[in-house]
Amino acid sequence: MATNILSKKRTKYVTAKELAEELSTSLQQIYRIFKRPEMKEAVVKIGEKAVRVNKDKFYQILEQIYR
């Protein structure tokens, strides 16, 4: 079976609330993590207030921070 070389994997963006539930932590703690300079590349602003994060990059950066 041939695979399409040009096909791209869809990026999974999640909200802070979803991450807080997944990591069993508070929403405030998630927003503190978002404010770190390392997280700039993972966090995406949608509109004026809404924030989403690239889930894969978020976990990669967390892994590097908390080794």
Q: What is the pLDDT of residues 4-56, one digit of tens each?
A: 677 777 888 999 999 999 999 999 999 999 999 999 999 998 888 889 999 99
Contacts of 62 by beta carbon, 8 Å cutoff, 6+ apart: 33
pTM of the model: 0.77
Report how far residue 48's alpha carbon sits from residue 16's, in angstroms, rounded to the nearest whole number. 15
pLDDT, residue 49, reads 86
Binned at pLDDT 50, 70 and 90, residue 2 comes out as low
Q: Residue 33: how many CB atoms within 10 A of its CB?
A: 21
Binned at pLDDT 50, 70 and 90, residue 61 comes out as very high
Domain locations in the chain as residue ranges: 13-65
